[in-house]
Amino acid sequence: MSDPSQPSSSPVQHAIELTKSIIPPIHPGGRPFVFGAIGATLVVRLLSRRVGVLAGVFTAWLAWFFREPKRVTPQRPGIAVAPADGTVSHVIEAVPPAELGLGDTPMLRVSTFLSVFDVHVQRSPATGQVMRAVHKAGEFLSADLDKASEVNERNSLHIHTADGYDLAVVQIAGLVARRIICQVADGDKVTAGATYGLIRFGSRVDLYVPAGSRVLVEAGQRTIGGETVLAELPAGH
């Protein structure tokens, strides 16, 4: 039974709360595009209803593309969660980006390719502190190519986790992606699963974990950013 001392919510309030639980919010980096598209749609609709409908569909797609759904992140220690939604394209040994100063010792790299249908926000793979955040200009090759990790435009983070591990997570631009947004800087604290950035329109995200980690995914598998555990980090590191 409901508490008679508490006011019951109106049908309108209930509908609003239900809508919020179904429709994810829009990442701030995508709002200018969505609001601009809404304005353009209103203008176009005055000129042509048919074209206005098409513009409305495109606006709805933009809002969906820039969605930032809530995620439930595993909290057990010694793990690294997926920094992005997408498909695992590579699991190999590779040296982390030189600009992070992590040395020449190879780490395990899990690369995730994001299509235009995936959520495009990036999430911290673990709780810790950003030791270094570096943006590097480069090319815009197809993000599913292995060499895209080295030559494409990217934004790299070195995260020292609360458990004492050093991780690297790299946002990589692709053929269509021309804008990388990173909301954290050197010294910032990050929480596992929390959003820290966005890549606009098709991209790739690389996660580097220490050698000896147990990678739990393989090429071709789908990941859910902030929820899928990509690796168990080596004990006694």
Q: What is the per-residue pLDDT for 116?
A: 80
> Can you give the three-state secondary structure of the chain, one letter per residue?
CCCCCCCCCCHHHHHHHHHHHHCCCECHHHHHHHHHHHHHHHHHHHHCHHHHHHHHHHHHHHHHHCECCCCCCCCCCCEEECCCCEEEEEEEEECCCHHHCCCCCCEEEEEEEECCCCCCEEECCCCEEEEEEEEECCECCCCCCCCHHHHECEEEEEEEECCCCEEEEEEEECCCCCCEEECCCCCCEECCCCEEEEECCCEEEEEEECCCCEECCCCCCEECCCCCEEEECCCCC
**Are residue 130 and residue 210 in the same domain, yes or no?**
yes
pLDDT above 90 covers a percentage of the chain that reads 49
Q: Which domain holds residue 16?
A: 11-65
Please check whether residue 2 lies inside any domain of the structure: no
**Are residue 91 and residue 154 in the same domain, yes or no?**
yes
**Are residue 114 and residue 24 in the same domain, yes or no?**
no
Catalytic-residue membership of 203: yes
**Are residue 42 and residue 137 in the same domain, yes or no?**
no
The CATH number assigned to the domain holding 86 equals 2.70.70
**Are residue 88 and residue 182 in the same domain, yes or no?**
yes
Among the options 111, 124, 149, 203, which is catalytic? Answer: 203
pLDDT in tens, 88-142: 999 999 999 999 999 999 999 999 998 888 888 999 999 999 999 999 887 766 6
Report the chain's mean pLDDT, rounded to a whole number.
84
Q: How many domains does the chain have?
A: 2
